[in-house]
Chains A and B, each alone.
Chain A
Amino acid sequence: MNVHDEMSDADVLRAAADSLSAIPVPSAPDTATIITTGRARRRRRRMAGLSIAGTAAVTVVALGLSGAVGSISHQPSGSTSHQPTHPAHAQLAAWTVTRLADGDISVTINQFKDPAGLQSTLRADGVPASVTFASQRDQACQPYPGGTVSPGSGSPSPLRPSALLKQVFPDPYQVLGPTPGTGPARMVKAPGPPSPTPSGNRIVIVIDPSALPRNAGVQLASSNAAATNLLLPAVVYASPQCTG
């Protein structure tokens, strides 16, 4: 008789659990230590965000925008260079970065302008980021496993976001109506398929920094192929060359 046959999977797992449970492990630290450390980090993030907001906050007032939903909001400081030519949109900044109450970061893109500014704002908010508009994706960036959409089955094949993408970009990738606040929003499954964006539309992307693996960052890249601007968020390996 073979004793192998007598040991069920449950028996093996129980033996493993018993053995691992016998390892002496440190007891839990004081909860107050965890909470205090977390609060200090939140405070540092807020301070870093506020110091960068500076001029942008003035811009918000001057432009009469009230779309920010969180406590911190960033916009390009050189607002004049980001104003679209159409009078109806002259009040809009090219993009806005807002930290939401739960720690997520909301990026609203009205126009594909000043990618470097958006990139540095995201980095200052603690999100390793690579942003390119109307150009090739940064070749220094390597896709993180599961960090890009993959084609699904069917015809036409839908883009299928991975679990990682859904966690890093938790809210639906949104293309709102032609004029913010008017008309029904068109929702597109996160984070794709990509949709045409401005003129007139704006894109809101929500990023959950806590869902990013420690060695990963986000990539926001738009292309200008066929005169259609597309934006597709992705997760890439963080590196000094790619995400700073």
Chain B
Amino acid sequence: MSSEQAEFTEFFQASWEPCLRAVVAVVGSPQLAEDQVAEAFTRAWMSWRKVSHHPAPRAWVVRTALNTGASWWRRRSLELPLADHDVTAPGDLASGLDVALLTAIWRLPRRQREVIALRIFLDLDTDTIARQMRIEAGTVRMHLSRGVAALRHELTPDKTTEASQ
């Protein structure tokens, strides 16, 4: 095995799950995400000399996977992501999951989901997320703030009611 191949293999094995989970958080379907992330890693290998020097190679994979997904959605004329059957239905999930919270995550606008996914699964700071998403850092902060606020509302309404009684 060449050193280049060994380096890629190490990166792939360490990065598969966080990248996949980040994409699942955005697209909602583990099966769809798996296809997109596999495609993204294939492209990463094809351009490994470049990707290996990327400041955030995992973010490169996630961005590529999500771009692939955008095309996939368009080819199927599904202009509204997460609108229908490709989102994992709550009934498909194993018991014990916080289905209400997952539903709330997938109801967030896509940009908010992307920012949250990059933050929690790739541990990227605001500036790096901004560069990856090609938006301003202030816009990242806005998406994160709004997304967190919406999730906080989903997480605590009952407790709030109880507390106010």
Known: A34-B38, A214-B70. A19 touches B20 (CB 8 A): no
Known: A4-B160, A103-B47. A214 touches B24 (CB 8 A): no
* Cα A104 to Cα B9 with chains together (Å): 22
> Which of A1, A7, A213 is within 8 Å of B70, CB to CB?
A213
Query: Do residues A215 and B49 form an inter-chain contact, with CB atoms below 8 A?
Result: no
Residues 1-43 of chain A: 1 if any B CB is under 8 Å from the residue's CB, otherwise 0? 1111001010011111111111111111101001101100110
Q: Give the total number of A-B pairs whose CB atoms are below 8 A apart.
A: 137
Query: Do residues A1 and B50 form an inter-chain contact, with CB atoms below 8 A?
Result: no
- Determine whether B98 belongs to the interface, using a CB cutoff of 8 Å to chain A: yes
- Determine whether A185 belongs to the interface, using a CB cutoff of 8 Å to chain B: no
B89 to chain A, nearest CB (A): 12
- Determine whether A129 belongs to the interface, using a CB cutoff of 8 Å to chain B: no
Chain A contacts of B20 at CB under 8 A?
Answer: 25-26
Chain A contacts of B155 at CB under 8 A?
Answer: 7, 12, 15
B6 to chain A, nearest CB (A): 10
Interface residues of A (CB under 8 A from B): 1-4, 7, 9, 12-29, 31, 34-35, 37-38, 41-42, 101-104, 146, 162-164, 208, 210, 213-215
Instruction: Show 9 A/B contacts (Cβ-Cβ < 8 Å), sorted by A.
Output: A13-B116, A17-B120, A20-B24, A20-B102, A22-B94, A25-B30, A38-B45, A208-B50, A210-B47
